[in-house]
Amino acid sequence: MIGERLTEAMNEQIKHELESYYLYLSVAAYFHSKSLDGMAHWMKAQAHEEMIHAMKFFDHIIDRGGEVRLQDLKQHKTQWSSTLEAWKDAYQHEQFISDKINGLISIAREDRDYASEPLLAWFADEQIEEEATASKITDEIEMVGEDKSGLLFLDRELAQRPFPAGSPLDPAAYGQAE
Ligand code: OFO
């Protein structure tokens, strides 16, 4: 059975993952308002991943006999001063999440909760990828600067990210063309 300290920390992490979901949806709305629909699409696909992250912790707590206690979510920004600022926020947010995952690993080790190791190792790996991707795109946006054709090129490229099959965030799932 999972201990109370780790249960509490994982419940907190469910909140952070749902806030990630919310943040990426908020950034998607901002990009749509700027006609950067490819970037908005990328953010929605990312939001889908964040919901999966939240559910991994949700199921783990339940499977280990703990109690899931959902918490209030923070209100995110709805406006950014530039495309670059929005991507920088996403990158910074991923660094914050990595820190939280490291905190969970420390608690699990201190409490000798070996059963959570595979899940937390998966998240540690996932964060390497999430940070690397957000950092790379932020660098690219920084490189194109004020060049509108460069931005358009990146927007088209980011539109290529596939939605996981059956994603409720895929406009095809609710009969919309993106
Ligand atoms: Fe859940 O990895 Fe991003 O936030």
Alpha-helix runs per DSSP H in the chain: 4-33, 37-63, 83-110, 117-144, 148-158
Q: Which residues line ligand 1 (CB under 6 A)?
A: 17, 20, 50, 53, 94, 97, 130
Residue with tokens 């964040």: 50
At residue 39, the pLDDT reads: 98
| Residue 164: per-residue pLDDT | 84
Cα–Cα dist 41/141, whole Å: 16
Given this model, what pLDDT does residue 146 score? 84
Please report the pLDDT score of residue 19 as a whole number.
97
For ligand 1, atom 1: residue with the closest CA: 50
pLDDT tens readout for residues 92-144: 999 999 999 999 999 999 999 999 999 999 999 999 999 999 999 999 999 99
Domains of the chain: 4-161 (1.20.1260.10)
- Ligand 1 center from residue 160 Cα (angstroms): 20
Mutation test of ligand 1: which of 22, 97, 125 has the most ligand atoms closer than 8 Å to its C-beta? 97
Residue 172 has pLDDT above 90, yes or no: no
What's the rounded Cα separation, in Å, for the pair 48 and 77?
19
| Residues 133-171 as b or e (16 or more Cβ within 10 Å = b) | bbbebbebbeebeeeeeebeebbeebeeeebeeebebbe
For CA atoms 2, 4, 6, 8, the dihedral sign is positive
Checking if the pLDDT of 177 tops 80, the result is no
* CA 50–ligand 1 middle distance (angstroms): 5
Question: Candidates 18, 24, 46, 53: which one to mutate for ligand 1, based on the most atoms within 8 Å of Cβ?
Answer: 53
